Structures are given as structure tokens and as C-alpha cells.
Amino acid sequence: MASLSAWLWDERFWLPAGVTWADLRGSPGAPLPQASDLCLALPLAFGIFSVRLLFERFLAKPCAVCLGVQVSARKKAEPNAILEKVFTSITKSPDDERLRGLSKQLDLEERIIERWFRRRRNQEKASVLAKFCESMWRLVFYIGIFCYGIVFLWKTPWFWDTKHCWYNYPYQPLSTQVYWYYIAEVSFYWSLMFSQFTDIKRKAAKLANYAKYQKLCDVLFGFFAIIFIGTRLCIYPLWVLNTAMFESWEIIGPYPSWWVFNPMLLLLQVLHIMWSYLILRLTCRAVTRGKVDRDERSDSESGSEEEVPGKQHRILRRNGHVKE
């Protein structure tokens, strides 16, 4: 175990040449960043998650109801052992050949089996109300953390000149404001993991979309597209990548972890380009159709539950299975 810990925290990998962990212990008057600082993030994440539950129940949900977000009850798929086994272990969207096979095996019409799979898929997806509440929670957090960051970063020299990020690195005192900013961010994303799941404008646009305010949704999506592309394709490469790759090389020089984290930042830029392409494609489609369709990165419920007019199906029981 000791050898694993020594390998994981190898000074030669994490720190510039000639720097050791002992050098970063700091002093009471000028504390330096420590790995142990992150220990508070996990318990704080539980607190944030609890606040989220209260926020969604007592603020977001009533707000959704006031805005007319539909709270529709979904029809559940009838219990069927064979179809459930296919759904969980083989496929959630069977092709025509498998539908025909299941139809013969269960003596059910293909359309009934299709509807069963559609309802079963929808059971696993969050409702519009749940998505509204989640988006509202994220919107409020993003606005709050953005304003908090701007208030204290505005006064720092590295906000205006990114070279200050590397002067005297890594012997840079950790201010209380920076500490709580990072702890809040890490705790927030830990809290999202508890519920198994960047962008203030996109969340606002989603709220408008869920509330069926199409014009407001279109306007907010336009703002989101401009801000996303501006920050990810301009500010990120010109400021963040530039200082992480070139200014750091000039001031402190490369070291092993430099060769790991900078390629990861470049990979993130590739993702930014891909997402920007999807957003531009959605924007072009919105211009031609006159409205914004759903976000291609988000889940949507499967098709309608409508029956074929004039045709009814009766429910029978055969070999313990329910059929319509």
C-alpha cells in the first residue's frame, strides 16, 4: 500500500524539477494548496444534494406548475418476463426481425410489442417536470457561482494577465475565496453523481422549452449559441490553452504532468469543436424551420401512445404473460 501511495504521489510527476511536497506545506500566515484541502468536498456534496432536493420540491416544482409545465402520468409497460429479459439483457429498441420473432413467441401483434418497448424506455427517462426542476437547479447554481467568481477574480492580477498564474509557481498562497470557489465547484459535481446523471443560457433555454415558451426559448438558445461558441472557440484556446501550454513553458518549463494535462485540455478543445458544430447545425435548422428543436445531446421521450383508430386490443393471459 505504501508503494502504491508513493507511486501515486510521485513528486517527479506532479511537481516541477527541484520541488518536493515538503516545500508546499506553507505556513499559518500563507497557506499553500494541499491535496487534503479536497477532503471537505465530499461531505459538502451531500449537503448540496440535500439543498437540491429541497429546492426542487419547494421552489422549482411550484414554479414549473405556475409556468404550465405538464405533469403527465406515464403509462407503464405491462409486466412481461420475456420482454423484460430482452429489454434488460439484449436490446431496448428491437429491430423488425426481433419484433417478428417475439410476436410469434408470445402470440402478440408486433405493434403491441413495439408499444411495450416504447413505454418501457420512457419509464427509465426523467419526466419533463423532473428535467425542468434539474435545469432550474443548475441554472441557479451556475448564476451564483459565476457571480461569486467574477466578484473575487476581478481584483486578481491573473484575471487580467494570465502569466501571473505561473509566477512563483507552485509557491502561491491559497486565498480563502479561491479555496471555497473550487470546493463549491467540486462538491456540486459530486452531488450530480449522487443522482446519476456549462451553460447558464442553455439551462435557461431548456426551462423556456419545457414551459412551452417557444419564442423565449429561441431567443435564449441564440444567446447560448453565441456565448458557447465565443467562450469555447475563442476565450478557451486564446487564454486557457495559451497560458497552460505556452506561457507555462516559458516561465517554469515542462515537467511530466505537464505532458498529461495539456493533451487533456486539447482533447477538451476537440469536444468543444464537435459540440459547436452540433449547435450550429441546430441553429441552422431552427432558422429554416422557424423554431428551435430539442437539444440533440438530450434524451427525449419516445413517440406517442396513440392507438390505431377503430382498433381495440383486449388483454388476455397466456402462460403467465399479459398481452393486449
Q: What is the pLDDT along the chain (324 residues), one digit of tens a residue?
A: 678 778 888 989 999 988 998 888 877 777 888 888 889 999 999 999 999 999 999 999 999 989 888 766 678 888 999 999 999 889 989 999 999 999 999 999 999 999 999 988 888 787 888 889 989 999 999 999 999 999 999 999 999 999 999 999 999 989 999 999 999 999 999 988 876 543 444 556 666 666 667 777 778 888 889 999 999 999 999 999 999 999 999 999 999 999 999 999 999 999 999 999 999 998 888 888 776 665 554 555 455 444 443 444 433 344 444 444
Per-residue burial over 222-247, b if 16 or more Cβ lie within 10 Å, else e, is eebbebbbeebeeebbeebbebbbeb
SS3 state of residue 322 = strand
The pTM (predicted TM-score) of the whole model is: 0.72
CA distance 293 to 287: 11
DSSP state at residue 323: E
CA-to-CA dists, residue 288 to 11, 85, 284, 285, 292, angstroms: 56, 43, 6, 5, 10
**Vertex 183 angle, CA 177 and 184, to 5°:** 90
